[in-house]
Amino acid sequence: MLGPLRSVTGRSDAGLRDLADEELMQLVRRGNASAFEVVYDRHADAAFSLAYRMCAQRALAEDVVQEGFLALWRSGARYDRNRGSVRTWILGIVHNRAIDALRRRAVRDRGRVNDEGIEERMAAPDRTDLEVARRDEAREVRDALRALPDEQSRVIELAYFGGLTHVQIAAMLDIPVGTIKGRMRLGLAKMRMTLGDPAEVVQ
Amino acid sequence: MSEDRRPSGDGDCGGNAAPYVLGALTPAENDAFLQHMSTCAVCREEVAALETVASSLPASVPQFSAPRQIKRGVMAEVRADARRARRPGATRPAMAAGRRGRSALVPAALALAVIALLAIVIVGSGGGASGTRVIRAEVSAPGASGTVRVSGGHAEITLAGMPQPHSGRVYELWTKRAGGPEPTDALFTVSSRGEATVGVPGGVAGVRVVMVTSEPLGGSRRPSGAPLVLAQLG
């Protein structure tokens, strides 16, 4: 049974914000809603941005993010730090939820982001080293994607952001399934070489 | 179990590592590939290498601020869950009904899988307090037990002695009415003593069966394996 927050963590709510994600997840596993809120605040923008890129509809993206974070709260005990950062884990959950939503609702024009009233593009002050590192990472990943031959970047984007299966992509492009798989593999392998040690990229 | 060292590009493995990490396999292909990876070191290594690249892709998208109403909705449910977990007799985690029900219908073919799962039989039920039924569930894990308490159209399943889900897995609660199993938003684990108390989201009007399966993190839209817990409500 959880007692008052301070007795669980030895910290105030404000002190929670000094904890690393992995430490927060230990508290989340014990049902600490305040720790979960800190995790949410840190990663909700990235989660929403991914969902919005995939769904291209604000309402659907909001549903996906909400469902994803609730799933995270309710399965927090299963976070395994050996399989990547908390951020990677969260974005993986949101990605899976978005794919489910896209395939379930047969959204048209996916992949084409529109505004729908979203005007809160994040301000870009370089407040912390972490934010600078993330911006550098974003640029490197975009550059690596752009450096691919169009045929490879297209199948990767249709699959990862469009939520399409390799069979659907093959039908859409009128190309054999084996070729689609090959392009995915080649593209990802080239990106891996471009990005160097992937562990430095995703954390 | 022998390890398969054949390279994934030769056709024997289907070249599925890249579509797998991109989320581009169908659910059936995904399940088959997960099974394949359990015996294929080459595919495991390739997935590990490509997965890190795929997981970097979200960084490439334009960044927006998450609308504030998402946080309001999430935290309202989180704090409600936390309050329920603090009630006497509750175990952590105690899961509540999801924000909204899932409407996805399970293909009829999948119902066949569930029929096979019904090899787990119901062993009994008993009455409880006035207006309350307590139904004993059959649980496949040795030494584990479960009961479903039904009252006023709502139900809560209580489990004891359950093993922790395997790494990367979570327990998911399903309901079954006239058709196939319907997913709920109740994803949960169990305490160190194998205990959990989980509310059945959306009530149990018309529900004939409540069951629990082990699913990948984030849950599934259809069962990926045999139910570990099954209770027949009516």
- What CATH number has the domain bearing residue B16? 1.10.10
**Higher-scoring residue by pLDDT: B1, B191:** B191
Band of pLDDT at residue B168, cut at 50, 70 and 90:
low
Residues A72 and A135 in one domain: no
Judge whether B134 is closer than 8 Å to chain A, CB to CB.
no
Q: Which residues of B145-184 are buried (b: 16+ CB within 10 A; e: fewer)?
A: bbbbbbeeeebbbbbbebeebeeebbbbbbbbeeebbbbb
Is residue B151 situated within a structural domain?
yes
Residues A147 and A191 in one domain: yes
Judge whether A96 is closer than 8 Å to chain B, CB to CB.
yes
Which of B39, B59, B79 lies at the terminal end of a domain, its last residue? B59
Judge whether A100 is closer than 8 Å to chain B, CB to CB.
yes
Residues A93 and A18 in one domain: yes
CB < 8 Å to B59, chain A: 46, 134, 137-138, 141, 201
Residues B14 and B97 in one domain: no
Mean pLDDT of chain B: 74
Q: What is the pLDDT of residues A66-93, one digit of tens each?
A: 999 998 898 765 677 777 889 999 999 9
Q: Which helix (DSSP H) or strand (DSSP E) does residue A67 occupy?
A: helix A58-74
Picking from A137-151, B101-115, B145-159, which range would have the lowest pLDDT averaged per residue?
B101-115
List, as ranges, residues 132-171 from A with C-beta within 8 Å of B.
134, 137-138, 141-142, 145, 156, 159-161, 163-167, 169
Is residue A15 situated within a structural domain?
yes
Residues A198 and A162 in one domain: yes
Band of pLDDT at residue B118, cut at 50, 70 and 90:
very low
Residue B217 to residue A75, Cβ atoms within 8 A: yes
Picking from A26-40, B51-65, B164-178, B189-203, which range would have the lowest pLDDT averaged per residue?
B189-203
- What CATH number has the domain bearing residue A105? 1.10.1740.10
- What CATH number has the domain bearing residue B111? 2.60.40
Is residue B2 situated within a structural domain?
no
Is residue B190 situated within a structural domain?
yes
Residues A94 and A144 in one domain: no
Indicate whether B19 pLDDT > 60.
Answer: yes
Picking from B6-10, B191-195, B203-207, which range would have the lowest pLDDT averaged per residue?
B6-10
List, as ranges, residues 137-196 from B with C-beta within 8 Å of A.
164-165, 167-170, 185-189
Is residue A28 situated within a structural domain?
yes
pLDDT at A156: 97
Residues B47 and B115 in one domain: no
pLDDT at B204: 83
Is residue A34 situated within a structural domain?
yes
Is residue B180 situated within a structural domain?
yes
Residues B86 and B186 in one domain: yes
Question: Number of A:B CB contacts under 8 A?
Answer: 231
Residues B41 and B149 in one domain: no
Which chain B residue has its CA at the smallest distance from A124's CA?
Answer: B63
Residues A86 and A138 in one domain: no
d(CA B8, CA B15): 5
pLDDT at B198: 79
Is residue B209 situated within a structural domain?
yes
Structural domain count, chain B: 2
pLDDT at B101: 29
- Residue A3 neighbours by CB distance under 10 Å: 8
Q: Which domain does B193 fall in, by range? A: 68-232
Judge whether B25 is closer than 8 Å to chain A, CB to CB.
yes
- What CATH number has the domain bearing residue A179? 1.10.10.10
Is residue B3 situated within a structural domain?
no
Mean pLDDT of B41-56: 92
Residues A16 and A94 in one domain: yes
Residues B25 and B99 in one domain: no
d(CA A116, CA A125): 25
Indicate whether B97 pLDDT > 70.
Answer: no
CB < 8 Å to B91, chain A: none
Strand partners, B158: B147, B197
Which chain B residue has its CA at the smallest distance from A79's CA?
Answer: B168
Residues A96 and A16 in one domain: yes
d(CA A70, CA B80): 12
Residues A41 and A75 in one domain: yes
Structural domain count, chain A: 2
Which chain A residue has its CA at the smallest distance from B58's CA?
Answer: A50
Q: Which residue of A75, A79, A115, A132 to mutate against B (max B Cβ within 10 Å)?
A: A75
pLDDT at A163: 92
Burial class (CB in 10 A: 0-12, 13-18, 19+), A37: buried
Band of pLDDT at residue B154, cut at 50, 70 and 90:
confident
pLDDT at B54: 94
Judge whether B21 is closer than 8 Å to chain A, CB to CB.
yes
Residues B115 and B193 in one domain: yes
B11 DSSP assignment: S
Q: Which residue of A27, A74, A94, A197 to mutate against B (max B Cβ within 10 Å)?
A: A74
Residues B179 and B104 in one domain: yes
Q: Is B181 helix (H, G, I), strand (E, B) or coil?
A: strand
A159 within 8 A of B23, measured Cβ to Cβ: yes
B120 within 8 A of B140, measured Cβ to Cβ: yes
Residues B37 and B73 in one domain: no
Residues B49 and B95 in one domain: no
Residues A105 and A130 in one domain: no
Residues A102 and A3 in one domain: yes
Is residue A55 situated within a structural domain?
yes
Is residue A103 situated within a structural domain?
yes
Residue B23 to residue A160, Cβ atoms within 8 A: yes
**Higher-scoring residue by pLDDT: A90, B184:** A90
pLDDT at A188: 97
- Residue B78 neighbours by CB distance under 10 Å: 25
**Higher-scoring residue by pLDDT: A64, B98:** A64
Residues B77 and B178 in one domain: yes
Tens digits of pLDDT across chain A (203 residues): 333 334 344 456 668 888 999 999 989 988 899 999 999 999 999 999 999 999 988 889 999 999 999 988 987 656 777 778 899 999 999 999 999 888 877 544 444 444 455 544 544 444 577 777 888 888 999 999 999 999 999 999 999 999 999 999 999 999 999 999 999 999 999 999 999 854 443 33
pTM over 0.95: no
Residues A24 and A67 in one domain: yes
Is residue B173 situated within a structural domain?
yes
Residues B19 and B127 in one domain: no
| Sign of the Cα pseudo-torsion (B192, A90, A139, B66, in order) | negative
Q: Which domain does A96 fall in, by range? A: 1-109
